[in-house]
Amino acid sequence: MKFYQMSPQERREELDKQGASLEPVAADKLDRLNDLSENVIGELELPLSCLTGVLVNNQEWRIPMSTEEASVVAAANHGFSVFAKNGGVIAQSRRDGIYGQIVLQVGSDFDLPSFTEQMPAYIDLANEEFSSLVRHGGGVRQIAARQEDDLVYLLALIDPAEAMGANKANAILEFLAGKMQNEPGVKDQLFAILSNYPSQLTRAEVTIDFATLTKDHDSVKGEAIAKKMALLSRIGQKDVYRAVTNNKGIMNGVDAVLAATGNDTRAVEAASHAYAVRDGRYQSLSSWEIKDGALKGKVVLPLALGVVGGSISSRPDIRQSYSILGKIKARDLANLVASVALANNFAAINAISTKGIQEGHMRLQTRNVVDLLEATPAEKKAVFEMMTSQHQYGETAAKVFLKELRGR
């Protein structure tokens, strides 16, 4: 029997024979997991964190985040604490729809103008076939066609309503392609599939008073920090090495919220990096500038998100995230995700502009190092305090401090 044909328990037994060491998992849970993926043999667990008191569009929110990196949640928390002192984030999501492509191979007798005239009829046909989507506020919005040699490229804009919409879009596209094959001059359908090209852009903005950038509310020091942050931002617009690292930090926060809410991290990552190169060169997705006597930050992201359908309904661990969020529309979720991106980005360039990025990271990573020590909980706590107070990190430092502690 092939591996994929086995039950999850049989796969585990096979791996055990080969020397693999697997974590225990209840049989009923293993069966549920098997319905979600292929070749299932267990599970990976990630912490579920929660940001509270997040002020976006003059409303307080709780935001779930799922990531194994503590610094990502800490950075978002810090960013939002500063934002709250400045009136919070203003965000706006444009949800026109997601793109889908149909590519047809045509002969010399194909007439593009005549074919294009049929597009309104095709839109009506699709919306009639998928009337349930229309009833929820979605549907096919437009279809554009262009021809290059013997290939016709059709780009459809599909409003998925409150869902991510990938599966529904693919079904609509395949339905349309099947009908279009009967048009005069069409020889073959090459593909009909969703495109992850950037769509549904969401903008998040914040204005920060200089004084809130320092603990002592020194506006002079705060202005100096703000100017350095604006300079770093300008470098991110021009230097690809800085831009890609800047965007990775942005996506840290984005991916954590997407994972917690059952949204597609890979699709958003692909669209975001495509959007970063929209002007012909890769640049930062965020910008910070000094304007009107304040630091102004902005991020624009393509966020084709959903709050219904897919794994959102079938996974209890995802449903708990929506109980944290409360009743929410896809547009609101996109606004929150973009706001988290801005908060994480703020925290990163603020740290670089002041004390540096490494100390905060190392302090948080020290928890993992200390947890691996063969020591009592009280000893681990004492070692952690010794390491962070003396700014000495890493496994070697942990062992030295433990030995010193026991020597006392």
The whole-angstrom distance between residue 183's C-alpha and the CA centroid of its chain comes to 40
Residue 227 is inside which H or E element, if any?
helix 219-238
Residues near 84 by beta carbon (within 8 Å), at least 6 away in sequence: 53, 54, 55
Catalytic residue (choose from 238, 248, 291, 403) = 248
Residues near 184 by beta carbon (within 8 Å), at least 6 away in sequence: 109, 110, 111, 114
Distance CA 162, CA 142 (A): 19
Distance CA 226, CA 223 (A): 5
Alpha-carbon Rg for the chain, nearest whole angstrom, is 26
Catalytic residue (choose from 14, 69, 183, 379) = 69
Distance CA 217, CA 262 (A): 40
Hey, is 43 helix, strand or coil?
A: coil
Query: For this structure, is 69 an active site residue?
Result: yes
What are the structure tokens assigned to 40, written together? 């299932």
Query: For this structure, is 129 an active site residue?
Result: no
* Residue-wise burial string across 232-249, b where 16 or more C-beta atoms lie within 10 A, e elsewhere: bbeebeeeeebbeebbeb
Q: Are 232 and 286 in contact (CB under 8 A)?
A: no
Catalytic residue (choose from 14, 361, 379, 399) = 361
Distance CA 250, CA 343 (A): 8
- Quick one: DSSP state of residue 351? H
Q: What are the residues facing 193 on neighbouring strands?
A: 101
Q: Are 61 and 336 in contact (CB under 8 A)?
A: yes
Query: For this structure, is 264 an active site residue?
Result: yes
| 3 state SS for 65-124 | EECCCHHHHHHHHHHHHHHHCCCCEEEEECCCCEEEEEEEEECCCCCHHHHHCCHHHHHH
Residues near 143 by beta carbon (within 8 Å), at least 6 away in sequence: 119, 122, 123, 154, 155, 156, 157, 176
Query: For this structure, is 31 an active site residue?
Result: no
Dihedral of alpha carbons 174, 178, 180, 186, sign: positive
How far separated are the first and last CA of the chain, in Å rounded? 61
Catalytic residue (choose from 209, 264, 332, 380) = 264
Active site members = 69, 248, 264, 361
